[in-house]
Chain A
Amino acid sequence: MSATTPVPAPTAAYRITPARVLRSEWHKLWTVRSTWITLVTSAAFLLGVGILMGATYTSDGGDSDVDTVVLSLYGSQLGGVCLAVLGILVTAGEYATGMIRASMTAVPRRLPVLGAKAAVFTAVVFAVSFVTALITFLTAQIFFSGTDQAASLTDDGVLAAIAGNATGVTLLGVIALGLGAALRSVPGAVGAFIGGVMVLPEILGMLPYEAVETAVRYFPTQAAGALGSADPMPGAATPGAALFALFLWAAATLAVPALLLKRRDV
């Protein structure tokens, strides 16, 4: 037995490139079950709740003023939590298993690993969320036809809201991914996401200060909500401002672990 039996490729061709790190992260994502479980569960929530909303809807049920897209995609709140968990598993999960040591030994400059994780996650989660949201909207419309929630994809703002919904859950997931990378603990990051991203703004919103109320509009969950609405919601940020705010939140949550990554021991 010898390690020098002819190797298939000349070693000189082996080299790290950004595209290869992306490829590696893509491979990692699809070769663990948790990815499939969280993606399928999130899609099932979205579609299931959408069908439930459609099947139980009556025009005089008191929901007439709810935005059609918001109503159809109501399940994206639960589905979004699954996607956030996936984001956390992608980063903090590697610290839990120890895989991070192999990843960082292979790519010791470290930052490309985090960047590739965020890029692959964003692309996959957006694609899955957008397609599922489209299917869910169309399915819910089968039930909505003939009610005051009847709408079509070509109606003003509908397609943009469906894309906005997918963008919203994707960027919330990126925030979760960033929290996972910064905290390096799956339970810690799940707690921080639920407490800091989902619950905290709700509590702040109850405070009787107008400035706080205005500020809360630009918090991640609220901004994501505004993005997924076909008609502008009263008391919400405009879609453009919401997208910008959400993007900043995601960028900031990624910047923290990116800065720490270079300094901390693995």
Chain B
Amino acid sequence: MIRAEELTKRYGDRTVVQDLSFTVRPGTVTGFLGPNGAGKSTTLRMLLGLDAPTRGHSTVAGRAYATHPAPLTQVGALLEARSLHPGRSAFHHLMALAHTHGIPRARVEHVLGLTGLTDVAGRRVKGFSLGMGQRLGIAAALLGDPATVVLDEPVNGLDPDGVLWIRTLLKSLAAEGRTVLVSSHLMSEMALTADHLIVIGKGRLLADTTVSALVREAGGASVRVVTPEADRLRALLPTSPHPDAQITAEGPDTLRVTGLDAAAIGHTAAAHGVPLHELTPQTASLEQAFMDLTHDSLEYQGAAA
């Protein structure tokens, strides 16, 4: 369990994170989402005590990360920036970290196996591909068998196999009851991995919600109906029991219906003998929802945006 309370970080006179409060609960994957420069990495560094917040504070399992007697068993972290000596082998890198907590060699070998690095464990990290480096970072994060796992953009630079592997790993970690916080600037990736979402922009909280709720809020689900008798169907649809139902004409024979599901529309049409050429449920694109949410807080906006 991670709790952030009014976290604020200023670098010089730039406020990079502002009054950020949220709670990350165990048992689910929580996505930490925001456009480039939103302050995700800065927030995660504050959670780990690497950067001191200008104001506010954060706790892991009820106390500041740095005050835990065995911090690696509380939080395992993969940071955005490379955090290792390229001249050291993967095994020795992990072993050096393990020694601080009295973690035995067997556990180091276990996490090397878990991340598929056993065969390259003796090689210097310098020669590792991006994906292998990322796997080593995850091995380091899992070293202390931590109750909470924090990963900053873990899929960066991974091939589709690697992405799938991370996705599966995160879900299994959450299923084991761990707290999983994973940052990304890709909504599409988070939609497949995360259940809960914390969205920030320009250092401020934009949304603390679930993936499904976000879709609903961002325009919700609608149904596209194509029929030669559009006007007749429009009059027949049972809008009165559904006050938030809305019907808009998108063309002479095309309707967009919100607030009614495809089944209700189909039944009505069948009951009155209205021929349907198309009946398509449409969910608002998550990517679009994310862009709508963060549009006003883009740090680096393309000229054409």
Contact = CB atoms under 8 A, between A and B. Distances in A.
Interface of A: 1-5, 7-9, 11, 13-17, 20-21, 23-24, 27-28, 31-34, 93-94, 97-109, 263, 265-266
Interface in B73-121: 73, 77, 79, 81-89, 92-93, 95-97, 99-104, 106-107, 110, 114
B145 interface: yes
B85 A16 contact: no
A20 B92 contact: no
Residue among B52, B93, B103, B104 with the highest chain A CB neighbour number at 10 A: B103
Contacts of A13: 102
Contact of A1 (B69, B99, B114, B176): B114
B197 interface: no
Interface residues of B, number: 49
Given A31-B92, A97-B82, A8 B106 contact: yes
A1 B140 CA distance: 17
B192 to A, nearest CB: 18
Contact of A266 (B51, B72, B95, B168): B51
B131 interface: no
Given A14-B73, A102-B83, A8 B104 contact: yes
Interface string B140-170: 1010110000000000000000000000110
Given A5-B110, A28-B96, A31-B92, A98 B70 contact: no
B48 interface: yes
B235 to A, nearest CB: 57
Contact of B114 (A3, A94, A102): A3
Nearest to B142: A3
B226 interface: no
B145 A7 contact: yes
A106 B100 contact: yes
A106 B97 contact: yes
Contacts of A23: 99-100
A11 B97 contact: no
Contacts of B106: 8-9
B107 A266 contact: no
B70 A16 contact: yes
B101 A101 contact: no
B49 A9 contact: no
Contacts of B45: 265-266
Contacts of A27: 92, 95-96, 99
B220 to A, nearest CB: 37
Given A24-B99, A27-B92, A101-B81, A108 B52 contact: no
